[in-house]
Amino acid sequence: MAGSRLLALVGGALAGLALPPLGSPPLLWLGLALLWQLSARQRPWQLGGIWGLAAVLVSHRWLLGLHPLTWIGVPEPLSLPLCWLLLAICAGAGGVLVGGWLSLAAWLGPRRSLAALAMAGLWGLVEVALAKGPLFWLGIGAAALPGDRPLAGLAALVGAGGLAAVQLLVAWGLWRCLQHLTARRWRPFLLSGLVLALAVLGLQALGTRVLAAQPLEQTTVERVLVLQPAIPTREKFTWPQQLRLRQLLRAALAEGDQRQASTVLLPEGALGLDPELDQPAPVELISGGFRWQEVGGEPQQRSALLRFPPGTVQPTDALDKHRVVPLGEWVPLAGLVRWSGLSAVGGVEPGPAPRLLQRPEASIAGAICYELSDGEALAAATRDGARWLLASANLDPYPLMLQRQFSALAQLRAIETGRWLVSAANTGPSLLVNAKGEVVAQLPAGRAVTGLFTVPQLSNLTPYARFGDGPLLLLTAVVGAAAVFSRLQGSRQPN
Protein backbone atom coordinates (compact mmCIF):
# COMPACT_ATOMS: atom_id res chain seq x y z
CA MET A 1 0.00 0.00 0.00
CA ALA A 2 2.92 2.33 0.70
CA GLY A 3 4.04 1.98 -2.92
CA SER A 4 0.58 2.93 -4.15
CA ARG A 5 0.53 6.01 -1.95
CA LEU A 6 3.92 7.07 -3.29
CA LEU A 7 2.65 6.53 -6.83
CA ALA A 8 -0.36 8.72 -6.06
CA LEU A 9 1.83 11.43 -4.57
CA VAL A 10 4.19 11.45 -7.55
CA GLY A 11 1.34 11.38 -10.09
CA GLY A 12 -0.47 14.30 -8.46
CA ALA A 13 2.73 16.34 -8.18
CA LEU A 14 3.49 15.75 -11.87
CA ALA A 15 -0.01 16.89 -12.83
CA GLY A 16 0.29 20.01 -10.65
CA LEU A 17 3.63 20.89 -12.25
CA ALA A 18 2.22 20.32 -15.73
CA LEU A 19 -0.43 23.02 -15.32
CA PRO A 20 0.31 26.65 -16.26
CA PRO A 21 2.67 28.43 -16.05
CA LEU A 22 4.57 25.42 -17.44
CA GLY A 23 1.72 24.09 -19.58
CA SER A 24 3.14 20.68 -20.49
CA PRO A 25 0.55 18.16 -21.78
CA PRO A 26 3.01 15.20 -21.93
CA LEU A 27 3.87 15.67 -18.25
CA LEU A 28 0.17 15.88 -17.46
CA TRP A 29 -0.56 12.70 -19.41
CA LEU A 30 2.04 10.86 -17.35
CA GLY A 31 0.50 12.10 -14.10
CA LEU A 32 -2.98 11.14 -15.29
CA ALA A 33 -1.78 7.74 -16.52
CA LEU A 34 -0.59 7.07 -12.96
CA LEU A 35 -4.06 8.09 -11.76
CA TRP A 36 -5.68 5.56 -14.10
CA GLN A 37 -3.23 2.96 -12.78
CA LEU A 38 -4.41 3.65 -9.22
CA SER A 39 -7.98 2.78 -10.16
CA ALA A 40 -6.93 -0.88 -10.26
CA ARG A 41 -5.43 -0.77 -6.76
CA GLN A 42 -7.07 -1.25 -3.36
CA ARG A 43 -8.71 1.76 -1.67
CA PRO A 44 -8.96 3.92 -4.81
CA TRP A 45 -10.76 6.65 -2.85
CA GLN A 46 -7.73 7.07 -0.61
CA LEU A 47 -5.23 6.98 -3.45
CA GLY A 48 -7.27 9.39 -5.53
CA GLY A 49 -7.43 11.71 -2.53
CA ILE A 50 -3.64 11.72 -2.22
CA TRP A 51 -3.30 12.38 -5.97
CA GLY A 52 -5.74 15.30 -5.88
CA LEU A 53 -4.19 16.71 -2.71
CA ALA A 54 -0.71 16.71 -4.24
CA ALA A 55 -1.91 18.21 -7.53
CA VAL A 56 -3.60 21.20 -5.87
CA LEU A 57 -0.78 21.77 -3.38
CA VAL A 58 1.63 22.14 -6.29
CA SER A 59 -0.59 24.05 -8.74
CA HIS A 60 -2.01 26.51 -6.18
CA ARG A 61 1.11 27.12 -4.10
CA TRP A 62 0.89 30.79 -5.09
CA LEU A 63 -1.63 31.18 -2.24
CA LEU A 64 1.34 31.41 0.09
CA GLY A 65 2.25 34.65 -1.68
CA LEU A 66 -0.57 36.37 0.21
CA HIS A 67 1.67 36.44 3.29
CA PRO A 68 1.95 38.80 5.12
CA LEU A 69 -1.74 39.64 5.68
CA THR A 70 -1.03 42.42 8.15
CA TRP A 71 -2.40 45.02 5.70
CA ILE A 72 -5.93 43.62 6.24
CA GLY A 73 -5.62 43.37 9.98
CA VAL A 74 -4.33 39.82 10.44
CA PRO A 75 -1.61 39.65 13.12
CA GLU A 76 1.73 38.69 11.60
CA PRO A 77 2.14 35.47 13.67
CA LEU A 78 -1.19 34.24 12.26
CA SER A 79 -0.60 35.33 8.66
CA LEU A 80 1.48 32.45 7.33
CA PRO A 81 -0.55 29.75 9.16
CA LEU A 82 -3.72 31.26 7.68
CA CYS A 83 -2.24 31.15 4.16
CA TRP A 84 -1.28 27.51 4.69
CA LEU A 85 -4.79 26.83 5.96
CA LEU A 86 -6.31 28.31 2.78
CA LEU A 87 -4.01 26.17 0.65
CA ALA A 88 -4.81 23.08 2.74
CA ILE A 89 -8.57 23.65 2.36
CA CYS A 90 -8.26 23.93 -1.42
CA ALA A 91 -6.01 20.86 -1.57
CA GLY A 92 -8.38 18.91 0.65
CA ALA A 93 -11.31 19.76 -1.61
CA GLY A 94 -9.28 18.56 -4.61
CA GLY A 95 -8.49 15.34 -2.80
CA VAL A 96 -12.15 14.65 -2.03
CA LEU A 97 -13.19 15.24 -5.64
CA VAL A 98 -10.47 13.10 -7.21
CA GLY A 99 -10.97 10.38 -4.61
CA GLY A 100 -14.67 10.17 -5.45
CA TRP A 101 -13.94 10.19 -9.18
CA LEU A 102 -11.39 7.39 -8.91
CA SER A 103 -13.76 5.27 -6.80
CA LEU A 104 -16.42 5.56 -9.47
CA ALA A 105 -13.89 4.75 -12.19
CA ALA A 106 -12.80 1.63 -10.26
CA TRP A 107 -16.42 0.51 -9.91
CA LEU A 108 -17.19 0.95 -13.62
CA GLY A 109 -14.07 -0.92 -14.65
CA PRO A 110 -11.42 1.47 -15.99
CA ARG A 111 -10.13 -0.94 -18.63
CA ARG A 112 -13.41 -0.63 -20.52
CA SER A 113 -13.26 2.06 -23.18
CA LEU A 114 -16.92 2.95 -22.56
CA ALA A 115 -16.20 3.57 -18.87
CA ALA A 116 -13.09 5.60 -19.73
CA LEU A 117 -15.09 7.83 -22.07
CA ALA A 118 -17.80 8.35 -19.45
CA MET A 119 -15.31 9.18 -16.71
CA ALA A 120 -13.38 11.58 -18.94
CA GLY A 121 -16.58 13.43 -19.80
CA LEU A 122 -17.62 13.54 -16.15
CA TRP A 123 -14.26 15.06 -15.17
CA GLY A 124 -14.65 17.73 -17.86
CA LEU A 125 -18.17 18.64 -16.71
CA VAL A 126 -17.07 18.86 -13.08
CA GLU A 127 -14.31 21.26 -14.10
CA VAL A 128 -16.90 23.42 -15.86
CA ALA A 129 -19.03 23.43 -12.70
CA LEU A 130 -16.07 24.21 -10.43
CA ALA A 131 -15.15 27.17 -12.63
CA LYS A 132 -18.49 28.71 -11.59
CA GLY A 133 -17.84 28.14 -7.89
CA PRO A 134 -16.50 30.50 -5.23
CA LEU A 135 -12.80 29.62 -5.61
CA PHE A 136 -10.23 30.23 -8.33
CA TRP A 137 -10.15 27.12 -10.49
CA LEU A 138 -7.28 25.98 -12.66
CA GLY A 139 -8.10 22.57 -14.11
CA ILE A 140 -6.41 20.24 -16.54
CA GLY A 141 -8.41 21.82 -19.36
CA ALA A 142 -5.92 24.70 -19.22
CA ALA A 143 -2.81 22.51 -19.26
CA ALA A 144 -2.22 22.81 -23.00
CA LEU A 145 -1.09 26.42 -22.67
CA PRO A 146 1.40 27.82 -23.21
CA GLY A 147 3.22 24.64 -24.24
CA ASP A 148 0.92 23.11 -26.88
CA ARG A 149 -1.13 25.71 -28.75
CA PRO A 150 -2.31 23.29 -31.48
CA LEU A 151 -3.88 21.06 -28.84
CA ALA A 152 -5.41 24.11 -27.14
CA GLY A 153 -7.06 24.95 -30.47
CA LEU A 154 -9.57 22.17 -29.76
CA ALA A 155 -11.09 24.48 -27.12
CA ALA A 156 -12.80 26.39 -29.94
CA LEU A 157 -14.75 23.18 -30.61
CA VAL A 158 -15.29 21.68 -27.16
CA GLY A 159 -14.22 24.26 -24.56
CA ALA A 160 -12.02 23.69 -21.54
CA GLY A 161 -14.26 20.89 -20.26
CA GLY A 162 -13.96 18.98 -23.51
CA LEU A 163 -10.23 19.63 -23.58
CA ALA A 164 -9.94 18.15 -20.09
CA ALA A 165 -11.81 15.05 -21.27
CA VAL A 166 -9.48 14.73 -24.26
CA GLN A 167 -6.42 14.90 -21.98
CA LEU A 168 -7.84 12.15 -19.76
CA LEU A 169 -8.52 9.91 -22.75
CA VAL A 170 -4.99 10.39 -24.06
CA ALA A 171 -3.67 9.51 -20.61
CA TRP A 172 -5.94 6.44 -20.54
CA GLY A 173 -4.42 5.32 -23.83
CA LEU A 174 -0.95 5.87 -22.40
CA TRP A 175 -1.83 3.80 -19.32
CA ARG A 176 -3.12 0.92 -21.42
CA CYS A 177 0.01 1.09 -23.56
CA LEU A 178 2.27 0.98 -20.49
CA GLN A 179 0.32 -1.99 -19.15
CA HIS A 180 1.22 -3.96 -22.25
CA LEU A 181 4.85 -2.89 -21.83
CA THR A 182 5.13 -4.00 -18.20
CA ALA A 183 3.50 -7.33 -19.09
CA ARG A 184 5.90 -7.72 -22.03
CA ARG A 185 3.07 -8.05 -24.52
CA TRP A 186 5.12 -6.57 -27.33
CA ARG A 187 2.67 -6.77 -30.20
CA PRO A 188 -0.23 -5.10 -28.32
CA PHE A 189 2.26 -2.57 -26.94
CA LEU A 190 3.49 -1.56 -30.39
CA LEU A 191 -0.02 -1.48 -31.81
CA SER A 192 -1.47 0.59 -28.96
CA GLY A 193 1.56 2.90 -29.04
CA LEU A 194 1.08 3.51 -32.74
CA VAL A 195 -2.64 4.21 -32.28
CA LEU A 196 -1.90 6.61 -29.41
CA ALA A 197 0.76 8.49 -31.39
CA LEU A 198 -1.56 8.84 -34.40
CA ALA A 199 -4.38 10.02 -32.13
CA VAL A 200 -2.21 12.73 -30.56
CA LEU A 201 -0.96 13.88 -33.96
CA GLY A 202 -4.52 13.88 -35.27
CA LEU A 203 -5.73 16.00 -32.35
CA GLN A 204 -2.93 18.50 -32.87
CA ALA A 205 -3.61 18.64 -36.61
CA LEU A 206 -7.30 19.28 -35.95
CA GLY A 207 -6.48 22.01 -33.43
CA THR A 208 -4.06 23.63 -35.87
CA ARG A 209 -6.69 23.64 -38.57
CA VAL A 210 -9.28 25.15 -36.24
CA LEU A 211 -6.91 27.96 -35.25
CA ALA A 212 -5.96 28.61 -38.88
CA ALA A 213 -9.64 29.01 -39.80
CA GLN A 214 -10.25 31.54 -37.04
CA PRO A 215 -10.55 35.07 -38.53
CA LEU A 216 -8.44 37.77 -36.91
CA GLU A 217 -9.36 40.94 -38.77
CA GLN A 218 -12.58 42.91 -39.06
CA THR A 219 -13.45 46.15 -40.78
CA THR A 220 -14.37 47.71 -37.43
CA VAL A 221 -11.63 48.08 -34.80
CA GLU A 222 -11.25 49.94 -31.52
CA ARG A 223 -8.21 51.65 -30.08
CA VAL A 224 -8.10 51.12 -26.31
CA LEU A 225 -5.56 52.55 -23.90
CA VAL A 226 -4.71 50.33 -20.92
CA LEU A 227 -3.41 51.98 -17.76
CA GLN A 228 -1.43 49.62 -15.52
CA PRO A 229 -1.03 51.68 -12.31
CA ALA A 230 1.15 49.18 -10.38
CA ILE A 231 -0.03 50.46 -7.00
CA PRO A 232 0.66 47.94 -4.19
CA THR A 233 -2.64 46.72 -2.76
CA ARG A 234 -1.22 46.97 0.76
CA GLU A 235 -0.80 50.74 0.22
CA LYS A 236 -3.75 51.37 -2.06
CA PHE A 237 -5.86 53.39 0.37
CA THR A 238 -3.07 55.58 1.69
CA TRP A 239 -3.33 59.22 0.69
CA PRO A 240 -0.03 59.35 -1.30
CA GLN A 241 -1.08 56.37 -3.41
CA GLN A 242 -4.60 57.74 -3.91
CA LEU A 243 -3.07 61.01 -5.12
CA ARG A 244 -0.69 59.11 -7.41
CA LEU A 245 -3.58 57.15 -8.94
CA ARG A 246 -5.51 60.34 -9.68
CA GLN A 247 -2.45 61.77 -11.42
CA LEU A 248 -1.95 58.60 -13.46
CA LEU A 249 -5.63 58.55 -14.44
CA ARG A 250 -5.66 62.19 -15.54
CA ALA A 251 -2.55 61.60 -17.64
CA ALA A 252 -4.01 58.41 -19.16
CA LEU A 253 -7.28 60.11 -20.12
CA ALA A 254 -5.37 62.97 -21.72
CA GLU A 255 -3.15 60.49 -23.57
CA GLY A 256 -6.18 58.51 -24.72
CA ASP A 257 -7.79 61.67 -26.09
CA GLN A 258 -4.56 62.75 -27.81
CA ARG A 259 -3.98 59.32 -29.38
CA GLN A 260 -7.62 58.99 -30.47
CA ALA A 261 -8.40 56.01 -28.30
CA SER A 262 -12.07 55.13 -27.96
CA THR A 263 -11.66 53.81 -24.40
CA VAL A 264 -9.29 53.97 -21.44
CA LEU A 265 -9.18 50.82 -19.27
CA LEU A 266 -8.25 50.53 -15.60
CA PRO A 267 -7.96 47.32 -13.56
CA GLU A 268 -10.22 45.82 -10.91
CA GLY A 269 -10.93 48.07 -7.95
CA ALA A 270 -8.79 50.93 -9.27
CA LEU A 271 -11.26 53.72 -8.42
CA GLY A 272 -11.84 52.46 -4.90
CA LEU A 273 -14.84 53.43 -2.81
CA ASP A 274 -15.48 56.83 -4.38
CA PRO A 275 -15.84 56.27 -8.14
CA GLU A 276 -16.13 59.89 -9.20
CA LEU A 277 -13.72 61.64 -11.55
CA ASP A 278 -12.09 64.99 -10.84
CA GLN A 279 -13.17 66.28 -14.25
CA PRO A 280 -15.30 65.03 -17.16
CA ALA A 281 -13.67 62.19 -19.06
CA PRO A 282 -12.59 63.25 -22.59
CA VAL A 283 -13.00 59.62 -23.76
CA GLU A 284 -14.90 56.62 -22.47
CA LEU A 285 -13.46 55.16 -19.28
CA ILE A 286 -14.05 51.59 -18.06
CA SER A 287 -12.55 50.99 -14.65
CA GLY A 288 -12.87 48.63 -11.75
CA GLY A 289 -14.39 50.17 -8.66
CA PHE A 290 -17.16 49.81 -6.12
CA ARG A 291 -20.78 50.89 -6.12
CA TRP A 292 -23.94 50.58 -4.06
CA GLN A 293 -27.02 48.76 -5.29
CA GLU A 294 -30.34 48.72 -3.43
CA VAL A 295 -31.83 45.23 -3.22
CA GLY A 296 -35.04 44.58 -1.30
CA GLY A 297 -34.78 47.98 0.36
CA GLU A 298 -31.27 47.26 1.63
CA PRO A 299 -28.05 48.74 0.16
CA GLN A 300 -25.44 46.28 -1.10
CA GLN A 301 -21.84 47.13 -1.91
CA ARG A 302 -20.57 45.54 -5.11
CA SER A 303 -17.27 45.31 -6.94
CA ALA A 304 -17.86 46.22 -10.58
CA LEU A 305 -16.63 47.36 -13.94
CA LEU A 306 -17.84 50.97 -14.13
CA ARG A 307 -18.42 52.70 -17.47
CA PHE A 308 -17.99 56.49 -17.73
CA PRO A 309 -19.16 57.83 -21.14
CA PRO A 310 -17.24 60.80 -22.55
CA GLY A 311 -18.09 64.04 -20.79
CA THR A 312 -19.19 62.46 -17.50
CA VAL A 313 -17.70 62.28 -14.02
CA GLN A 314 -19.88 59.47 -12.71
CA PRO A 315 -20.54 55.99 -14.14
CA THR A 316 -23.74 55.39 -16.07
CA ASP A 317 -23.36 51.63 -16.57
CA ALA A 318 -21.86 48.82 -14.52
CA LEU A 319 -21.07 45.12 -14.73
CA ASP A 320 -21.02 43.72 -11.20
CA LYS A 321 -18.61 41.05 -10.11
CA HIS A 322 -20.53 37.78 -9.84
CA ARG A 323 -17.93 35.45 -8.32
CA VAL A 324 -16.76 37.17 -5.16
CA VAL A 325 -14.02 35.71 -2.98
CA PRO A 326 -15.35 34.00 0.18
CA LEU A 327 -14.09 35.79 3.32
CA GLY A 328 -11.87 37.99 1.16
CA GLU A 329 -14.86 39.88 -0.26
CA TRP A 330 -18.10 38.13 0.63
CA VAL A 331 -18.94 37.15 4.20
CA PRO A 332 -21.93 34.85 4.90
CA LEU A 333 -24.40 36.41 7.35
CA ALA A 334 -22.31 39.57 7.43
CA GLY A 335 -25.36 41.57 8.52
CA LEU A 336 -25.68 39.43 11.63
CA VAL A 337 -22.07 39.06 12.67
CA ARG A 338 -21.09 42.55 11.54
CA TRP A 339 -17.74 41.52 10.16
CA SER A 340 -16.40 42.79 6.85
CA GLY A 341 -14.10 39.84 6.27
CA LEU A 342 -10.55 40.05 5.02
CA SER A 343 -11.29 42.73 2.44
CA ALA A 344 -9.83 46.17 2.97
CA VAL A 345 -13.02 47.73 1.53
CA GLY A 346 -15.51 45.74 3.59
CA GLY A 347 -17.78 42.93 2.46
CA VAL A 348 -19.23 43.02 -1.07
CA GLU A 349 -22.15 41.10 -2.52
CA PRO A 350 -22.26 39.22 -5.84
CA GLY A 351 -24.06 40.68 -8.83
CA PRO A 352 -25.97 38.98 -11.65
CA ALA A 353 -24.31 36.11 -13.53
CA PRO A 354 -24.36 37.39 -17.17
CA ARG A 355 -21.01 38.84 -18.26
CA LEU A 356 -22.22 41.14 -21.06
CA LEU A 357 -21.47 44.87 -20.77
CA GLN A 358 -23.42 46.80 -23.36
CA ARG A 359 -21.95 49.98 -24.81
CA PRO A 360 -22.56 52.06 -27.99
CA GLU A 361 -19.28 51.15 -29.70
CA ALA A 362 -19.63 47.38 -29.21
CA SER A 363 -20.78 45.15 -26.39
CA ILE A 364 -18.00 43.35 -24.55
CA ALA A 365 -17.75 40.32 -22.25
CA GLY A 366 -16.19 41.26 -18.94
CA ALA A 367 -14.41 39.04 -16.44
CA ILE A 368 -13.36 40.49 -13.10
CA CYS A 369 -10.37 38.76 -11.50
CA TYR A 370 -10.75 34.97 -11.42
CA GLU A 371 -14.07 35.05 -13.28
CA LEU A 372 -11.68 34.49 -16.16
CA SER A 373 -11.66 30.80 -15.21
CA ASP A 374 -15.35 30.51 -16.19
CA GLY A 375 -15.15 30.00 -19.93
CA GLU A 376 -18.82 29.04 -20.29
CA ALA A 377 -19.99 32.42 -18.95
CA LEU A 378 -17.80 34.33 -21.42
CA ALA A 379 -18.95 32.06 -24.26
CA ALA A 380 -22.56 32.86 -23.35
CA ALA A 381 -21.79 36.59 -23.40
CA THR A 382 -20.16 36.16 -26.80
CA ARG A 383 -23.26 34.37 -28.03
CA ASP A 384 -25.31 37.33 -26.74
CA GLY A 385 -23.31 39.81 -28.81
CA ALA A 386 -19.93 40.55 -27.19
CA ARG A 387 -17.39 41.64 -29.81
CA TRP A 388 -14.27 41.35 -27.62
CA LEU A 389 -13.32 40.26 -24.10
CA LEU A 390 -12.09 42.36 -21.18
CA ALA A 391 -10.28 40.77 -18.23
CA SER A 392 -9.90 43.19 -15.32
CA ALA A 393 -7.83 42.11 -12.33
CA ASN A 394 -5.68 43.24 -9.44
CA LEU A 395 -3.42 40.18 -8.83
CA ASP A 396 -1.34 41.98 -6.22
CA PRO A 397 0.20 40.82 -3.87
CA TYR A 398 0.11 37.45 -5.62
CA PRO A 399 3.40 36.22 -7.13
CA LEU A 400 4.40 36.12 -10.79
CA MET A 401 3.28 32.47 -11.00
CA LEU A 402 -0.39 33.50 -10.72
CA GLN A 403 0.08 36.19 -13.37
CA ARG A 404 1.34 33.53 -15.78
CA GLN A 405 -1.59 31.26 -14.97
CA PHE A 406 -3.90 34.21 -15.58
CA SER A 407 -2.22 34.80 -18.94
CA ALA A 408 -2.73 31.15 -19.92
CA LEU A 409 -6.42 31.35 -19.03
CA ALA A 410 -6.75 34.56 -21.06
CA GLN A 411 -5.33 32.78 -24.11
CA LEU A 412 -7.70 29.84 -23.60
CA ARG A 413 -10.75 32.12 -23.30
CA ALA A 414 -9.78 33.89 -26.55
CA ILE A 415 -9.54 30.54 -28.36
CA GLU A 416 -12.86 29.28 -26.96
CA THR A 417 -14.81 32.37 -27.98
CA GLY A 418 -12.93 33.39 -31.11
CA ARG A 419 -12.55 36.90 -29.71
CA TRP A 420 -9.65 39.24 -29.04
CA LEU A 421 -9.03 39.75 -25.33
CA VAL A 422 -7.66 42.75 -23.48
CA SER A 423 -6.35 42.28 -19.95
CA ALA A 424 -6.04 45.30 -17.66
CA ALA A 425 -4.27 44.37 -14.42
CA ASN A 426 -2.81 46.41 -11.59
CA THR A 427 0.70 44.95 -11.70
CA GLY A 428 0.22 42.66 -14.73
CA PRO A 429 -0.40 40.83 -16.87
CA SER A 430 -1.80 43.67 -18.98
CA LEU A 431 -1.86 42.27 -22.47
CA LEU A 432 -3.59 41.88 -25.82
CA VAL A 433 -4.47 38.36 -27.01
CA ASN A 434 -5.75 37.70 -30.53
CA ALA A 435 -8.58 35.33 -31.41
CA LYS A 436 -6.09 32.48 -31.92
CA GLY A 437 -4.85 32.78 -28.36
CA GLU A 438 -1.56 34.45 -29.24
CA VAL A 439 -0.22 37.24 -27.02
CA VAL A 440 0.49 40.04 -29.48
CA ALA A 441 1.30 42.81 -26.97
CA GLN A 442 2.11 42.93 -23.26
CA LEU A 443 3.06 45.65 -20.80
CA PRO A 444 6.06 45.11 -18.49
CA ALA A 445 4.93 43.63 -15.17
CA GLY A 446 5.18 45.64 -11.97
CA ARG A 447 5.63 49.04 -13.63
CA ALA A 448 3.24 51.98 -13.98
CA VAL A 449 2.82 52.18 -17.76
CA THR A 450 0.21 52.64 -20.47
CA GLY A 451 -0.29 50.74 -23.71
CA LEU A 452 -2.42 51.46 -26.78
CA PHE A 453 -4.02 48.30 -28.23
CA THR A 454 -5.97 47.95 -31.48
CA VAL A 455 -8.84 45.51 -30.97
CA PRO A 456 -10.93 44.15 -33.89
CA GLN A 457 -14.65 43.73 -33.24
CA LEU A 458 -15.40 40.16 -34.33
CA SER A 459 -18.87 38.69 -34.81
CA ASN A 460 -18.36 35.07 -35.88
CA LEU A 461 -19.10 32.30 -33.37
CA THR A 462 -16.91 29.30 -32.67
CA PRO A 463 -18.70 25.96 -32.18
CA TYR A 464 -18.10 26.23 -28.44
CA ALA A 465 -19.45 29.79 -28.28
CA ARG A 466 -22.52 28.64 -30.19
CA PHE A 467 -23.32 25.40 -28.35
CA GLY A 468 -21.43 25.67 -25.05
CA ASP A 469 -21.03 22.49 -23.04
CA GLY A 470 -24.30 20.98 -24.26
CA PRO A 471 -22.67 18.40 -26.58
CA LEU A 472 -20.27 17.26 -23.83
CA LEU A 473 -23.15 16.95 -21.37
CA LEU A 474 -25.24 14.94 -23.81
CA LEU A 475 -22.38 12.63 -24.77
CA THR A 476 -21.40 12.03 -21.14
CA ALA A 477 -25.00 11.31 -20.13
CA VAL A 478 -25.52 8.77 -22.93
CA VAL A 479 -22.16 7.05 -22.55
CA GLY A 480 -22.37 7.16 -18.76
CA ALA A 481 -25.78 5.50 -18.78
CA ALA A 482 -24.46 2.80 -21.13
CA ALA A 483 -21.39 2.24 -18.92
CA VAL A 484 -23.50 1.90 -15.76
CA PHE A 485 -25.92 -0.47 -17.52
CA SER A 486 -23.01 -2.57 -18.77
CA ARG A 487 -21.50 -2.69 -15.27
CA LEU A 488 -24.78 -3.76 -13.69
CA GLN A 489 -25.37 -6.37 -16.35
CA GLY A 490 -21.88 -7.76 -15.80
CA SER A 491 -22.43 -8.00 -12.04
CA ARG A 492 -25.57 -10.06 -12.60
CA GLN A 493 -23.81 -12.68 -14.67
CA PRO A 494 -23.44 -16.03 -12.87
CA ASN A 495 -19.90 -16.97 -11.84
Rounded-to-integer distance, Cα 265 and Cα 440, Å: 18
Q: Choose among 227, 231, 288: nearest CA to 261.
A: 227
452 membership: H or E segment, kind and range: strand 449-456
Contact assessment for residue 38 and residue 12, using Cβ atoms and an 8 Å cutoff: no
Q: Are 132 and 160 in contact (CB under 8 A)?
A: no
Choice among 83, 90, 177, 369 that is catalytic? 369
Angstrom distance (rounded) from CA 130 to CA 137 = 7
Q: Which of 177, 321, 329, 371 is catalytic?
A: 321
Catalytic residue check, 436: no
- Residues with Cβ within 8 Å of 90's Cβ and at least 6 positions away in sequence, in order, are 56, 60, 63, 135
Q: Is the peptide bond before 299 cis (omega within 30 degrees of 0)?
A: no
Active-site choice (268, 284, 376, 416):
268
Which DSSP string do the residues of 209-261 spell out, in sequence order? Answer: HHHHHS----S-EEEEEEEE----GGGTTSHHHHHHHHHHHHHHHHHHHHTT-
The Cα 483–Cα 477 span in angstroms is 10
Tell which residue, 126, 51, 48, 149, has the closest CA to residue 412. Answer: 149
The question of whether 268 is a catalytic residue gets the answer yes
In sequence order, what are the residues at sequence separation of 6 or more whose Cβ sits closer than 8 angstroms to the Cβ of residue 398? 62, 65, 66
Of residues 264, 274, 354, the one with CA closest to residue 307: 264
Inter-residue contact 270 to 426 (CB < 8 Å): yes
| Preceding peptide of 110 cis, ω within 30° | no
How far is Cα 479 from Cα 298, in angstroms, rounded to an integer? Answer: 48
Residue numbers annotated as active site: 268, 321, 369
